Chains A and B, each alone.
Chain A
Amino acid sequence: MQVWTKLFAKSPFKPLIKHAEVALQTVETLEKALQAWREGNYEEMKKLALEVDRLEDVADRIKAEIRDSLSSKLMMAVAREDVLIYLHMQDKVADAAEDTAKWLLVKEPGDIPEEIKEVILQMGTESIKAAKLVYGAIVQMDRVIESGFAEKEIEREYEIIHEIEGVESKIDGLDTELMRLVFQNADKMDWSEGFYLLNIARTLSNISDKAKDAAERIRLMMNK
């Protein structure tokens, strides 16, 4: 009897999906914080930024659990290394959101030009897209395995990966745009404001960067 209850190890995919869900929530909460920031509602912004911090902790805990359960004693449908690196990247998505939240918390913004705020909000919206796509990608990976690596399901997975790459390059464009705007408005702001904005842009574009890296790992999982 013991054979059956022990032979099948717990699949890492359900917890990976759960982790992706939390990462997505983290990014969504960050976007709400950015909206509050734009509206000048700093109390609300702080509350939301702290919530981002809390969610990132939750993601970390799930990550630790998955890592502990993924011993080399498992025989899996995908390479263990790919799963671990994927998890690392997915976790970086939440980390990047937390980094942005930190910048929001450390400094009261001064008088920031509306066009810059606009670009940052756009970056936030796109980041949510990236995080949503990562969630979709890991759910689809589960389906790929469920179908016994059917060609059709693999193709769908590639479509999602392409979409993530598309979002990433769009955010890259917004990032460049933001840098240009910051230097254009250099005389209207002091150095600390510029520094603050550039870092928010950098951490925001990190979200989609890591999402892209995660997608890259999923591609590798399919080519074992």
Chain B
Amino acid sequence: MDPWLLITIIVGFGMAWAIGANDAANSMSTAVGAKAITPKQAVLIAGVLEFTGAYFFGKSVTETIRKGILYPDKITDPNILVYGSVAALLAATIWLVIATKFGLPVSTTHSIIGGIVGYGIVYAGFSVVNWGKMTQVVLSWILSPIIGAIMAFFVFKALTKSIFERNDPVKSSKIWSPFWVGLAFVVIGTMFYIKVLHGKDLGRGVIFYGIPAGLVVFLILFFALRAKFPSSDPFIGVESIFRRVQVITSGYVALAHGANDVANAIGPVAAVYAVATMGMAGMKVPVPRWILAMGGLGIALGVATYGYRVMETVGRRITELTNTRGFTIDFSAATVVLVASWLGLPISTTHVVVGAVIGVGLARGVKAINKDIVRDIIISWFVTVPVAALISASLFKVLMIVG
């Protein structure tokens, strides 16, 4: 095997581990915080579903990272792509470590894209960056939390109207919670058709895969919920139903996160792989499945080895989140992330989840949100890309001289 490919694989695997350790834990936090699942269960669910998401649904975003940010035909020297990819991965990892030290909530997605843009500009100037795609990506970073917030706002309003305002909230939630989970499976089923079976027709996917999957899940859940839950205190009854349902939606988040964020670790690896096998920055080489699997494995390993501690801390400290809120946040965020993955847009899961939290807050669902943290997150958006780009650019220069 090409030694540089081996190095990239190792660095990429390390990045995947870091994503699993920090990000994946974030994606399951609402469920752990709302006491829907224990940290141990969260690790197991996240590990399996992150891998599944990465392996089956992770390709489009990986392609965007591999060849969407820089014009591949402008990088003629294959070594450049190798050095650049290593520099980008290292820069992203370094910046993540620094930011974690200072408690800044930065995004792995923003870091890796900063890294790629950084080495690209040093090598061939600004024209090498596909600014059209880049604008689209950056726009999606701004839009996705906003869409997450709007969606969470309306989902929570809908829950209020359909459950809390009814005469028998427990009875209503037995009908409406399977409906929302069913809707989630409409999205998952459609994605399965497009991503795994490589279907082209969205309408066909929705009708033949999405809706049947959603319907089956709706019916299973509907009958499963009918048996139990005596209606004593209506609010406790509703929350106990949603505590169970939330296990499914938090899995939905893990799946979506794997699908989108695996690309941050393995996009550059895939780029180097293309060079190693074709000798050129080949456009034609598709991302091989084993690289997606490797990324998924790295994330799962990160969750298992380090994410556990993160989730334990979170589980102890978020006490202000109820199951209906957690459910709303999970459902809205995962849907936005999964749709973005389908469009091949690398977005930040954490930021979408934060957007959804704010949406529930605006619907007067969450009692108190810390505005300072929201501000920090927004600042981190503007800081991460240039900083990661600078680190990557310096590393790239060094590699050029040494290599």
Contacts and interface: CB of A to CB of B under 8 A. Distances in A.
Contacts of B25: 1
B368 A10 contact: yes
Interface stretch (A23-31, A57-65, A144-152): A144-152
Interface in A124-166: 143, 145-153
Interface stretch (B55-63, B198-206, B254-262, B369-377): B369-377
B313 A73 contact: no
A145 B354 contact: no
A189 interface: no
B370 A148 contact: no
A4 B377 CA distance: 12
Contacts of B282: none
Contact of A76 (B100, B322, B363, B368): B368
A184 interface: no
A149 B369 contact: no
A10 B321 CA distance: 11
B314 A147 contact: no
A1 B160 contact: no
Interface in B281-338: 310, 313-314, 317-318, 320-322, 324
B160 A147 contact: yes
Interface residues of chain B: helix, strand, loop or mixed (majority): helix
B320 A8 contact: yes
Contact of B367 (A4, A5, A77, A143): A77
A107 interface: no
B368 A148 contact: no
B156 interface: yes
Interface residues on A, range: 20 to 34
Given A143-B235, A148-B365, A5 B318 contact: yes
Nearest to B314: A4
A3 B370 CA distance: 10
B106 to A, nearest CB: 10
B148 interface: no
Contacts of B2: none
Q: Which of B29, B156, B160, B366 has the most CB of A within 10 A?
A: B366
A146 B318 CA distance: 16
A220 interface: no
Contact of B370 (A9, A77, A78, A145): A9
Given A77-B361, A147-B235, A8 B310 contact: no
A9 B369 contact: yes
B180 to A, nearest CB: 15
B33 interface: yes
A177 B26 CA distance: 64
A13 B367 contact: yes
A122 interface: no
A146 B159 CA distance: 12
B164 A148 contact: yes
Interface in A87-144: 143
A74 interface: yes
Contacts of A73: 370-372
Given A150-B160, A224-B364, A1 B373 contact: no
B17 to A, nearest CB: 15
Contacts of B104: 2
A219 to B, nearest CB: 16
B235 A146 contact: yes
Contacts of B160: 147-150
A6 B368 contact: no
A34 to B, nearest CB: 37
A12 interface: yes
Contact of A5 (B314, B350, B354, B371): B314
B357 interface: yes
Contact of A1 (B156, B164, B313, B369): B313
Contacts of A12: 367-368
A185 interface: no
Contacts of B366: 8, 77
Interface of A: 1-13, 73-78, 143, 145-153, 224
Given A4-B318, A8-B368, 18 more contacts: A3-B26, A3-B377, A5-B317, A8-B318, A8-B369, A8-B370, A9-B368, A73-B371, A73-B372, A75-B374, A76-B367, A76-B369, A77-B364, A143-B235, A146-B322, A149-B364, A150-B164, A152-B165
Q: Which 3 A-B pairs have the closest CB atoms?
A: A148-B160, A11-B367, A9-B368
19 contacts: A1-B26, A3-B350, A3-B354, A3-B377, A7-B354, A7-B370, A7-B374, A8-B369, A9-B320, A12-B367, A73-B371, A74-B369, A75-B369, A145-B367, A146-B235, A147-B160, A147-B165, A148-B164, A150-B164
